[in-house]
Homo-oligomer: A and B are copies of this chain.
Amino acid sequence: MTSCQEPHEKGNGPASARTRGAILKTAAGLFLERGYGGTSVDLIAAEAGVARQTIYNQFASKEALFRAIFSALADEAMMPLAVAARKGASMRAALLRLARSHVAGALSPARLALYRLVVAEAVHFPELGRAIYGVGAARVVRQLADFLREGTRLGHLDVANPEAAAEQFLSMVTGFQQFRGLMGLPAPSAEVDTRTEEAVDTFLRAFKGRPQRGMPRARR
């Protein structure tokens, strides 16, 4: 493969920065797609359009490269919940919006790949598991818990233990859908949506607050 790519403009920093970025980005994609063991340094080099030696100039080892990638990956993995309750929206609408966005995220190919990667490698890279949990899941739980606490304070909900309820909500909403996705089963979006709605309704039946105007409590 003849190298000689277009001459780098000066001013965008040292060539090494650009190269390093390309390596990181390419390697991240490959690790997600093929796992740690399934991704050779040669492949990363080829895909990034870079010599293998260049990778070793930038990173001490394949493992070091993986670790370097990981924190970044973990950070962007769990986008913050779109938790802002809109002013006029009902609690059900707010939770549904939130659930839908969370499910969509959790079922996206990128997130499923990340999940697969982490589950598979957490044994060899224990701090990786802790990182994903801490910067990802735990943070999302905390955000949602705050939202539920606020909803309770305002009387729209009746949640005694917001952290536990948040975990229950997220588990219920993603649980089986995500499992099916990981198992390679199809996830028709209509069905996903139905399941999401049902989960939200179950959650609301369990945690509905004091009756609101126009919302008769009597329900047998």
Contact = CB atoms under 8 A, between A and B. Distances in A.
B176 A130 contact: no
Interface residues of A, number: 45
Contact of A132 (B37, B165, B183, B207): B183
Given A133-B179, A202-B203, 16 more contacts: A37-B37, A115-B119, A116-B123, A118-B183, A122-B182, A126-B184, A130-B183, A130-B184, A130-B185, A133-B180, A164-B198, A168-B175, A168-B198, A168-B199, A171-B172, A210-B220
Contacts of A202: 165, 168, 203, 206-207
Contacts of A170: 175-176
Contacts of A176: 137, 141, 167, 170-171
Nearest to A203: B206
A132 B180 CA distance: 10
A38 to B, nearest CB: 8
Q: Which of A116, A170, A184 has the most CB of B within 10 A?
A: A184
A195 interface: yes
B183 A35 contact: no
Nearest to A161: B198
Interface in A174-204: 174-176, 179-180, 182-185, 195, 198-199, 202-203
Contacts of A164: 195, 198-199
Contacts of A220: 158, 210
16 contacts: A116-B119, A116-B123, A129-B184, A130-B184, A130-B185, A132-B183, A164-B199, A167-B176, A168-B198, A168-B199, A171-B172, A172-B175, A202-B203, A202-B206, A202-B207, A205-B205
A15 interface: no
Contacts of A93: none
B126 A120 contact: no
A123 B158 CA distance: 42
